[in-house]
Amino acid sequence: MKRILLALLGIIAAYLIFYPAPIEPAALNWPEMEPHESTTMPAIEVLFPRTCQDCEDISVVDNYLYTGHGDGRLLRFPLAGGDRLTEMVQFKGRPLGLEVLGDSLAWVCVEQEGLARVDLRNRTYEIVVNSYNDTTFQLIDYLDVAADGDVYFTDASDKFSDDDLQYDVLEGRPNGALYRYNVASGTTDRLMDNLYFANGVVVAPDESYVLVAETAGFRIQKYWLSGPRAGSSEIFIEGLPGWPDGISLSSDGLIYVTLISPRIAMHNFILPRPWTRRLVTKLPKFFLPKPVKANRILALDNQGAIIHDWADDNPVFSSISSIERIGNTLYLGTLDEAGVGRISLK
């Protein structure tokens, strides 16, 4: 029996050493900001828990909340109460980032399909773009619509799809990009590439710049659209205490950021050591690191300074992937839980 056990251990060791990994990880040493004291996050009320699952992004228009269900449906809920829903369209892939404009038009990033323009009145949609030059979007992720109608969106990775997004984060290479779809001409421009899991997007009200979250880089970058620095980029905020996901601009002038999972000691250990990530990806996906169930939301001014910092280490609703402030209410999407979150700010 001992010989059999040793033989099995030898086989496992040989597999872990010699079998090729699905990633080619890079050594990373991301900076960390000085610890920032957070306040207790107000209680989250969970809306539509029976009818909304994996509803990653939300858009609130005229007392209706629109969101994309994990099964591919674009749904509309009344905010007056109850779970009554209206199915607007059924996509082939999972709807991720979205924005609704009035009662007739919506833009949606649809996994495995592309950027969708939705006719809400006829309840139809068309894919306007799904690639750029020789690059097919693997994980078209998040968007924001500028005042002129142009759509700014991210492809989180041009290498890995949603099924393998953990591989992209563990590989630690800049496979993401930021794009602009010109509605008038029907053309697409790549504004930034070499982004570390490009995610949330928000356009400045005066359209002078666009912000893009790099989830795997613990930072947000600013890309200048106009002025003397047009076409260049700079760090807006870095060293975040978690993985930034959704970002949005509120009427109060602040930029709201969701940290979908905190940065923990394990991350600081494995990121500079590629062999650890190469090793773990040879195991079944069940063993891959999972996001920590802890909530944190930041509100930043237009210089990247933290104005509000809310945290909850034992949430009843977590994996917050998007945020929208309407008056004194925050609405929250989630990557993998049931319902939509709502916080009332006193």
User: 169 with 189: CB under 8 angstroms?
Assistant: no
CB count, 10 Å around CB of 36?
12
User: 174 with 167: CB under 8 angstroms?
Assistant: no
What does each of the 346 residues of the chain score in pLDDT, given as a tens digit? 666 655 555 554 544 555 678 899 999 999 999 999 999 999 999 999 999 999 999 999 999 999 999 999 999 999 987 668 999 999 999 999 999 999 999 999 999 999 999 999 999 999 999 999 988 999 999 999 999 999 999 999 999 887 888 899 999 999 999 999 999 999 999 999 999 999 999 999 999 999 999 999 999 999 999 999 999 999 999 999 999 999 999 989 999 999 999 999 999 999 999 999 998 898 888 878 888 999 999 999 999 999 999 999 999 999 999 999 999 999 999 999 999 999 999 7
SS3 322: strand
User: 297 with 259: CB under 8 angstroms?
Assistant: yes
Q: 């996050």: which residue's tokens?
A: 41
What is the torsion angle, in degrees rounded to the nearest 10, for the CA atoms of residue 137, residue 143, residue 146 and residue 151? 20
Dist. CA 202–CA 249, nearest whole Å: 7
pLDDT (tens digit per residue) in 166-183: 899 999 999 999 999 999
Dihedral of alpha carbons 103, 105, 107, 108, sign: positive
Pairing of strands 209-214, 219-224: antiparallel
Whole-Å CA distances, 291 to 155, 294, 318: 21, 9, 10
User: 119 with 85: CB under 8 angstroms?
Assistant: no
Q: Which of 76, 84, 71 is nearest to 59 (CA)?
A: 76
User: 312 with 40: CB under 8 angstroms?
Assistant: yes
DSSP character for 335?
S
Residue 32: predicted pLDDT: 96
Pairing of strands 86-90, 95-101: unpaired
Residue 15: predicted pLDDT: 47
pLDDT (tens digit per residue) in 37-47: 999 999 999 99
Residue 156: predicted pLDDT: 96
What is the reported pTM? 0.94
Dist. CA 200–CA 179, nearest whole Å: 12
Whole-Å CA distances, 322 to 11, 38, 287, 295: 44, 19, 27, 12
Residue 341: predicted pLDDT: 97
Radius of gyration of the chain (CA): 21
Query: What is the residue-wise DSSP string for 267-306?
Result: HHHHTT-HHHHHHHTTS-GGGS------EEEEEE-TTS-E
User: Which residues are bridge partners to 340 per DSSP?
Assistant: 47
Query: Residue 63 is encoded by which pair of tokens?
Result: 């007392």
User: Which residues are bridge partners to 325 per DSSP?
Assistant: 330
